[in-house]
Structure formats: C-alpha cells, structure tokens
Structure 1
Amino acid sequence: MITLLTTPADRELVITRTFDAPPARVWEAWTKPEHVRQWYGVAALPTVISDVDLTVGGAWRWGQKAPDGREIAFSGTYEEIVPNERLVYTEVFELMPGPPVHVTLTFDDTPDGGTALTSTSIWPSSEIRDQALATGMEAGVKEEYDRLAAYLETM
C-alpha cells in the first residue's frame, strides 16, 4: 500500500493510506497506548511515551527517545471523537512549540473490508507546514504507516 502526502491548499497537508484491517481495528491501534507503543514513530528509536486520554478535551502525548536521551514528542488535545469513524485533535511538536496544527482523521470502510485512513491537517501557516515537510517528515510518516500496517496484521 502507498502512503501519499499532498498539499491541496495553502496551509493543508493530507496523508492517505489504505490498511488491510477494518476501521475498528485501525481505530484501536491508533487510540490505545499499548498498541501505539508497537508501531508509532521510526523503528530506529524506542517509543517511550504513549499517553491517551480519549475524551473530548482529553490530552494525548506520543514520543520516542533519541540516542542522546532527548524526548522527541508530539502532544495535543482531543476536540471530537466518533469511535471507529473520526478523530479531531490538536498537535504540537514539543521541540518546536508554537501554534498547534489541527488534525482530522477519518477511518472509512473500503469495499474489501479494509480502512482508508485520511489525515487532514491545517497548519498555522504554509511556511511552517513546508518547514516540517523539509525536515524529512514524508519519509518518517511513510515508515510509521508501514509499521502500523505490519502491526495491524498481528492484532
């Protein structure tokens, strides 16, 4: 499966990927800390943070530990939760704090029983979005989604 990143509008980033698992399983892998620890981030770094308070207004924080001991963490707050269908939240990269990114994830059924996952994020500016993309974000996202796909096969 292909993970595709596109920039259809000035401050927008859309990530799409189809997974060979039903929406309920993809949702569970995305929202339960014990599952997040198994696939989140890049394989070269251990995932040491996966806190999830899956309530509207609840906080989440996911992160990995760099070789120098630094935490590379993202965090935010849940704004809307529709189990197995839609998750809306804010996201901040803690090493570069600033205005949050607003993310909407949709978990759509596919005709073959899989899930089309779409992440639509609205960034504070096109410059910030483009800076994030320039850091190698696309390769990291693709690796992470490949890891999620492999993990889903084991659930």
Structure 2
Amino acid sequence: MSDLEVIAEPGRQDIVVRRSFDAPRDVVFKAMTDPQYLAQWWGMKESELHIDRFEPRPGGTWRVVEKAADGGEYAFHGVFHDVTAPEGFTQTFEFEGQPGHVLLETHSLESEGDRTRYTSYSVFQSVEDRDGMVESGMETGLTESMDALEALLRTMT
C-alpha cells in the first residue's frame, strides 16, 4: 500500500509530496535521473513518454512529451539547477500548454535502512498557479507515476 502524501495548504504557493519506496536511495536516484528508466514510469498508465532530451546535470535541460491514448500530446520542459547523487536534484518544470507558468521543484531522497523516503517540494509563481495545478488532477497522474516507479524499482533491486 502506498504512503503517498500530497500537501497543498490553502493560500500557499507550494506543494509538498512525500512517499517511501522499498529500494535503496542510489537505485531510486538512478530510476529518477536515467532517461531509460524515466520513460518506464513517468506519466499516466495509458500514455507513452517520449524523451526529447534529459541531461541531469547543473545547467542541463530536459524535455519530454507524453502521448495520451486519445492521441493528445502534452509536452513539459525545464532546466536542472542542482544534481547531487544520490541525495536528489532541483529543476524547473513548465507545461508547454501553459507557457510562462514555471515552477521550481526540489526532489530529495533520504535513506531509511533499505528503503528511501522521497520528498518533493514545488514552489509556484503564485497561489493561482499552484491552485491550477492542484485542480488539473495532478494527483491522479502523480499517483500512477509513483506506483509505476515502485514497480520498476522492484525489477532494479
């Protein structure tokens, strides 16, 4: 059973996500920063992820396109600001369908014995941007992605 926790307090510009994974921190970090693994867990179940570029290093850029079962395409991109293996990374995130609404995400990984505690802290430019993300149904996609990541990690350890 997943212990996914999504915290979006009213009136704030941030979202905090927490989840534990039954895998060592270095393996979780690899699954999150290696494009061959990212394509296997990121996005909705019925979609396919195409990775245009993914350069997890300070100043490196990334762009992915999620191809939905209904034929729709949803592109996202950003810049890595910090990558420290296996502790985590910081990046910007922008949905190309709503340009100009950039958020900053910090992904932290903490060892808990043979398990890893993942925490994501996302800061939006405004409360309205944050509320728009929450109202978009992001929690459904997040849940599916995190569950797919857990399944992938079982094959990597």
Global fold match (TM > 0.5): yes
Please, what is the CA RMSD of the aligned residues?
1.4
Q: Is the 8 A contact 2:46 2:68 kept in 1?
A: no
Within the candidate set 24, 30, 33, 1:31 is matched to 33
Paired with 1:16 and 1:105, the residues of 2 have a C-alpha distance of 10
TM alignment of 1:39-54, pairs within 5 A = 39-49=41-51, 51-54=53-56
Task: Please report how far the alpha carbon of residue 51 of structure 1 lies from its aligned counterpart in structure 2 after TM superposition.
Answer: 2.5
Task: Please report how far the alpha carbon of residue 67 of structure 1 lies from its aligned counterpart in structure 2 after TM superposition.
Answer: 3.9
1:143 corresponds to 2:144:
yes
TM-score normalised over the length of structure 2 = 0.92
Q: Write out the 4+ residue segments of structure 1 that deviate beyond 3 Å after TM superposition.
A: 67-70
Residues 1:15 and 1:6: Cα distance change in structure 2 (over 3 Å) = same
1:78 corresponds to 2:80:
yes
Q: Is the 8 A contact 1:33 1:50 kept in 2?
A: no
Q: Which residue number corresponds to residue 126 of structure 2? A: 125
Q: Which residue number corresponds to residue 16 of structure 1? A: 18
Q: Which residue number corresponds to residue 88 of structure 1? A: 90
Q: Is the 8 A contact 1:50 1:61 kept in 2?
A: yes
Moved more, 47-56 or 66-75: 66-75
Paired with 1:104 and 1:72, the residues of 2 have a C-alpha distance of 22
Task: Please report how far the alpha carbon of residue 50 of structure 1 lies from its aligned counterpart in structure 2 after TM superposition.
Answer: 5.7
Q: Is the 8 A contact 1:17 1:118 kept in 2?
A: yes
Q: Which residue number corresponds to residue 134 of structure 1? A: 135
